[in-house]
Chains A and B, each alone.
Chain A
Amino acid sequence: MPDFEPVLLRRIGKPECQTLAGYRADGGYRTLTKALNEMDATKVAALVKDSGLRGRGGAGFPTGLKWTFLPKDHPGPIYLCVNADESEPCTFNNRILMEEDPHQVLEGIILASYATRASTAYIYLRYEYGKAFRTMQKAIDELYANNLLGKNILGKEFHLDVYLHRGAGAYICGEETGLIESLEGKRGWPRIKPPFPAVEGAFRKPTVVNNIETLACVTHIIDRGIDWFKSIGIPPDSKNPRDAGSYGPKLYCISGHVNKPCCVELPLGLTVRELVDKYGGGVWNGRKAKGCIPGGISMGIMTEKEFDTPLDFNGPGKVGCLGLGTAAVSVFDEETSIVDVLGNICRFFAHESCGQCTPCREGTGWMNKIVQRMQAGKGRMEDLKVLDEVAKNIGIMPGTTICGLADGAGWPVKNAIQKFRGELEEYIQKGQKSANLALVGAH
């Protein structure tokens, strides 16, 4: 495929990349000015809806459609919660956007607030992104000083406050209602939905929760138009009336056993193999890949034979993975044991389960214990049956939990048993142990 001209990453490394002056010199806030002067909020919202933009946080829900769930003619306040919690393992594109080009993100936030009539935007930022925090705060301070935030932005009847709210190391606070609970100062326990945040969200008011990368796209959609956005990516499957398509540029993260771990911007739809070989520098140490995590660990596991799967919103589903997720690919080579990969994943979910729902709290705990016992050489053939049963029964899709963490926890286990059964059975039969036995269960 011909080289794609970056949009979201186009300014990285330029002098004055993070300053207001630098952003303005590159045409920044011109779109916001145009929108405030020439379009009403409904027009901006309609543009985003018609563009087919889908959320980049993992669920891929159509952004403009989500905005329409806000009650019409609500007296307010309406809140925008910006999800900058980015904690899905192997994912780091939002970090790059905030560290390198904070004003691009902020212009999108202001436009989205204008479109949704939000009066305050809270950026829930994971604590671990200290550099991003300081960069974003500086940029926000510049905006207040230049009539681009606060009262009467650019002299219009439009007021907006933007506040950074730092998290404290909990993956579940990336779940939209877990985020809201944490913002409100409580433990990050996700809420039962409905009501959805658009109806009753932060502080019991209508709230929209959007991902950083999603919001960064908003400016470009308003600036360059719907036709431009739809010229990038993959149109909907004509045979499926419910397919919303995979439009726009996407930041892909590639990590693990590749020569060049990095973040690269490309149209939605390139394959895993292209990402690994063309942009990730190929598998390291002259080895072959055994498989990969296709979109953050919650999406499951792909075998090397499935690497020709396109990474758009439809592709991963066709090979039994949960979806595109965060489009973060992490490759493991042929010398890596699938049991160690699974052990790492199960340990993560057991640690991060918030504990609210029994199937998740107990299920993630048991999957972790079973896989750790396998890593210690004491696996039993029945373990695969138990793991499969647990993995298939926890989650919002089978309907047994409040949020989707459990689905994420189950999918890699399901995929491993389905796609790597041979390796798992051999491991158990031989009483094989982890290459890092001393570290199993050590912390």
Chain B
Amino acid sequence: MIATLIKRDLAKLFPFAGGGAALPVVFFLAVAMLYPFAVGPDAPLLARTGGGVVWIAALLAAILPLDRLVAQDIELGVFDQLKLRGVTEETSMAVRLLAHWLSFGPPLIVATFPAAALLALENATLHYLLLGLLAGTPGLAAIGLMIAALTASLRAGAALSGLLLIPLALPILIFGAGALAREDGASIGFVAAISLLLVAVAPFAAGAAIRAAREG
């Protein structure tokens, strides 16, 4: 049963499966590409600031898939039908969280390699950037899922979700980008801890949001 759910969610969300799901990665690379045009091709400057730009690009890319994450399935009544089959909202949200992270975390991490080349990042920076994104993207996915579920029944949900995600993602950004400046693993540990907490809370918060949306 759970395997069937994960399969459906992945087919729905995974890049290159159609439906514009590859957009976050393309968007992420586009930001990394634009930055050298905006500040000039000064390699030392790019190398010093590029890591932070990649983090901001990742954060913005995390906003893009939110409008299609939960709202459509609420409209279709998928969660209602699953509930009748004994699948709680929390379970469907935990599955959705996993699928959401798989569909945007790993592709983003892979896309960091070309982005790092574009920004002339040094190996040490790239190392902490990759570790930071690996630790941070599950947290971003969890925040995104909670926001998507909360705003699913609102008319201006898509615009609002972007606005809500940015402040909530701030701790991940501070410690994740902070690891680049100090080049230490302790900050990454913090990012991982924050992510872990968010991932643990998200299915329950999102599940409650879906129930609340039903009561209208």
Genuine A/B complex: no
